[in-house]
A and B are shown apart, each in its own frame.
Chain A
Amino acid sequence: MRALAEQNYYELIEASPDGSPQQIERAYRIARSAYLPSSAATYSLYSSEECAAILRRIEEAYAVLSDARLRREYDARLGRAPAPTPASVEPARTKRVVPARSEPARAPEPDLARRPSGERRGLPPPPPLVGRRAAAEFDLENSFAPDNGVFDGEVLRRIRVSLGIELEEISSITKINDQHLRSIESNQYEVLPAPVYLRGFLKQIAKCLSLDPGQVADSYTHRMRETATGGA
């Protein structure tokens, strides 16, 4: 347990130092939403000035951790090995944030800390995670894995909601039209794009939810074909 002022950037946004860029993004979004002025989670414990100060540090942390080069430099200052690149990401097994060994590094380059948020939204493509969820530190969603192994739209929706991810966020990352996303989640097969595009969309959605892209695409399209032919 360390005072806020002593927490490093990973501790601040409650992300694993081994987290993929996508996991960092998600941890940032969750950390940020807790300290927004509108948040019911903080108002009875922190003053608005305290929340604003924590938010500034969260933004500062994100500015560094969302930039691959700055993150590498920061990790080096913490005495850590560089964070894994997307290509080498393995499903993380750590359940809790691992505290850094050394004192937290502070104050990144001011110009980068003040970058407009729009610039930071240019995320790298979702890392190709294989198997079950890598974001083990948020294991709530693990309980939503379908018992029958079938990923239909409703299952994808439940998993997305359990992660606290809005449809618009998936759209912004994947560039898939909102309407297509809604149709996929509501199993409106008749209005979905051609199969070759649909598989691509499903794989991108799966990556956003840290699910196995191949499994999701196969399962969804199989269920769709079954429905079309009057199967189960």
Chain B
Amino acid sequence: MRRTGTPSWLSVRRGEPTLGSDHDDFVVKPPPPARVWAVGGGKGGIGKSFLVANLATVAARSGKRVILIDADLGGANLHTCLGVRAGERVSLSDYFEDRVLELDKVAIETPVPGLRLILGALGHTGKAETTAEQRTQLLRAVRKLPADLVIFDLAAGTDRSTIDFFLEADEGFVVTTPEPTAIENAYAFLRAAFYRQLAHELADSSARDVIRLSMDQRNERGIRTPADLMAEIDRLDPAEGQRFRRLIEGFHPHLVVNQVRDTEEVKMGFSIRSVCKKYFGIDVDYAGYICFDDNVWRSVKERRPLVLAYPSSDGALYIRRIVKKLLGT
């Protein structure tokens, strides 16, 4: 087995009580587990890594201990957004292949104080997707990281790794741009996440067959939307219908629209939220939008987070507002 030595959560943090006047006072409390966010969106090139780097920078500068995980294993480039050279440095592959035994030891420093990064390259395995065992192992370790916030930068697409990381997070973000292609992929992403969660949570259910059937959009029973599926489950087993409703009510992804150019495109976020409610029955939180801003590509070219390179730009302002809203910082 890989784990040896003292678990990282047992390490005594600075400023915490250690030994008191007698042994009764010796209480080592594990720190609260790190909050986990995951940022996905279905389509590539819509600014997921850009958003992650900037959200994390703002959070770190507000005093949070932040660790980023580049889970885009086939095309990891979050490090570049932060001005970190990957080179031959440790990465997730070292952790998965037992060359580094603690996940915390894979997190490398970035130029931003308080912000560390776990590189996503799976160099030696050459794989772009993790196994179920690796995902479980990683997710357990993530909760024990000495951090206040861990953010997954997810790959494009809807493969199992991506969706599982998204579903395991405390807060899931779906990024899109106002273009039809990105919006279509965002819906596909939400649909994949929702059905995967449903299949998992209702695996023992009498409705599992109809759920499996409904995952094929062209199924013979004509189940197209979650509303259709719920009606079908209600018909088969009303108690399962109630479970289904509770699952839907507990699924609250956040939406961020990137590269917004005008008021009409700001409204697109509201429209997507409305459609998610009507079509999927999902309450999406429109967390915010980021205006199209020349400073964004300048900051990417300079390999510096926008919020540091151009702190007074529109984009930086909007990113700070999103973090403020979600972290209350």
Interface residues of A (CB under 8 A from B): 1-4, 14, 30-31, 33-34, 39-46, 54, 96, 138, 140, 142-144, 160-162, 164-166
**Contact of A3 with B275 at beta-carbon distance under 8 Å, contacts A41-B183, A143-B288, A161-B263 already known:** no
Which residue of B is nearest A164, CB measured? Answer: B267
Q: Tell whether, in the assembled complex, residue B245 and residue A41 are in contact, meaning their CB atoms are under 8 Å apart.
A: no
Q: Tell whether, in the assembled complex, residue A14 and residue B324 are in contact, meaning their CB atoms are under 8 Å apart.
A: no
Closest 9 CB pairs of A and B: A34-B271, A41-B271, A164-B267, A1-B281, A44-B184, A40-B180, A143-B321, A143-B325, A30-B270
Q: How large is the interface on B (under 10, 10 to 19, 20 to 34, 35 or more residues)?
A: 35 or more
Which residue of B is nearest A39, CB measured? Answer: B271
Q: Which of B105-130 contact A (CB under 8 A)?
A: none
A143 vs B289: C-alpha distance when bound (angstroms): 11
Which residue of B is nearest A31, CB measured? Answer: B274
Q: Tell whether, in the assembled complex, residue A166 and residue B227 are in contact, meaning their CB atoms are under 8 Å apart.
A: no
Which residue of A is nearest B267, CB measured? Answer: A164
Q: Tell whether, in the assembled complex, residue B270 and residue A45 are in contact, meaning their CB atoms are under 8 Å apart.
A: no
Q: Tell whether, in the assembled complex, residue A143 and residue B266 are in contact, meaning their CB atoms are under 8 Å apart.
A: no
One digit per residue, 1 when the CB lies within 8 angstroms of any chain A CB and 0 when it does not, for chain B 263-285 equals 11011111110110111010100
A166 vs B264: C-alpha distance when bound (angstroms): 8
Q: Tell whether, in the assembled complex, residue A45 and residue B274 are in contact, meaning their CB atoms are under 8 Å apart.
A: no
A43 vs B180: C-alpha distance when bound (angstroms): 8
Query: Given B179, B180, B274, which contacts A34 in the complex, CB threshold below 8 Å?
Result: B274
B286 adjacent to chain A (CB < 8 Å): yes
B132 adjacent to chain A (CB < 8 Å): no
Interface residues of B (CB under 8 A from A): 178-180, 183-184, 187, 226-227, 230-231, 245, 248, 263-264, 266-272, 274-275, 277-279, 281, 283, 286-289, 321-322, 324-325
Residues of B within 8 A of A138 (CB): 270, 286
Q: Tell whether, in the assembled complex, residue B226 and residue A1 are in contact, meaning their CB atoms are under 8 Å apart.
A: yes
Residues of B within 8 A of A46 (CB): 275, 279
- Determine chain A's interface SS by DSSP, over half rule: loop
Q: Tell whether, in the assembled complex, residue B267 and residue A33 are in contact, meaning their CB atoms are under 8 Å apart.
A: yes
A80 vs B245: C-alpha distance when bound (angstroms): 25
Given known contacts A40-B268, A144-B321, what 20 new A-B pairs fall within 8 Å (CB)? Answer: A1-B281, A14-B274, A30-B270, A33-B271, A34-B274, A40-B179, A40-B180, A41-B183, A41-B274, A45-B187, A45-B275, A45-B279, A54-B278, A138-B270, A140-B269, A140-B286, A143-B288, A161-B263, A162-B266, A164-B270
Which residue of A is nearest B262, CB measured? Answer: A161
Chain A CB within 10 A, most for which of B184, B271, B281, B288: B271
Query: Given B230, B270, B289, B321, which contacts A1 in the complex, CB threshold below 8 Å?
Result: B230
Query: Given B272, B283, B288, which contacts A140 in the complex, CB threshold below 8 Å?
Result: B288
Q: Tell whether, in the assembled complex, residue A40 and residue B270 are in contact, meaning their CB atoms are under 8 Å apart.
A: no
A162 vs B283: C-alpha distance when bound (angstroms): 19
Minimum CB–CB distance from A42 to chain B (whole Å) comes to 6
Q: Tell whether, in the assembled complex, residue B268 and residue A41 are in contact, meaning their CB atoms are under 8 Å apart.
A: yes
Q: Tell whether, in the assembled complex, residue A164 and residue B263 are in contact, meaning their CB atoms are under 8 Å apart.
A: yes
Query: Given B183, B278, B283, B288, which contacts A40 in the complex, CB threshold below 8 Å?
Result: B183
Residues of A within 8 A of B277 (CB): 14
Query: Given B263, B274, B322, which contacts A143 in the complex, CB threshold below 8 Å?
Result: B322
Minimum CB–CB distance from A154 to chain B (whole Å) comes to 10
A76 vs B119: C-alpha distance when bound (angstroms): 60
A30 vs B151: C-alpha distance when bound (angstroms): 32
Minimum CB–CB distance from B316 to chain A (whole Å) comes to 13
Residues of B within 8 A of A166 (CB): 263-264
Residues of A within 8 A of B183 (CB): 40-41, 44
Residues of A within 8 A of B180 (CB): 40, 43-44
Residues of A within 8 A of B226 (CB): 1
Residues of B within 8 A of A3 (CB): 227, 231
Minimum CB–CB distance from A40 to chain B (whole Å) comes to 4
Which residue of B is nearest A162, CB measured? Answer: B266
A4 vs B227: C-alpha distance when bound (angstroms): 9
Chain A CB within 10 A, most for which of B179, B288, B321: B321
**Contact of A42 with B231 at beta-carbon distance under 8 Å, contacts A1-B281, A143-B321, A144-B321 already known:** no
Minimum CB–CB distance from A135 to chain B (whole Å) comes to 11
Q: Tell whether, in the assembled complex, residue B267 and residue A1 are in contact, meaning their CB atoms are under 8 Å apart.
A: no
Residues of B within 8 A of A1 (CB): 226-227, 230, 245, 248, 281
**Contact of A42 with B184 at beta-carbon distance under 8 Å, contacts A1-B248, A1-B281, A143-B321 already known:** no
Query: Given B266, B279, B321, which contacts A164 in the complex, CB threshold below 8 Å?
Result: B266
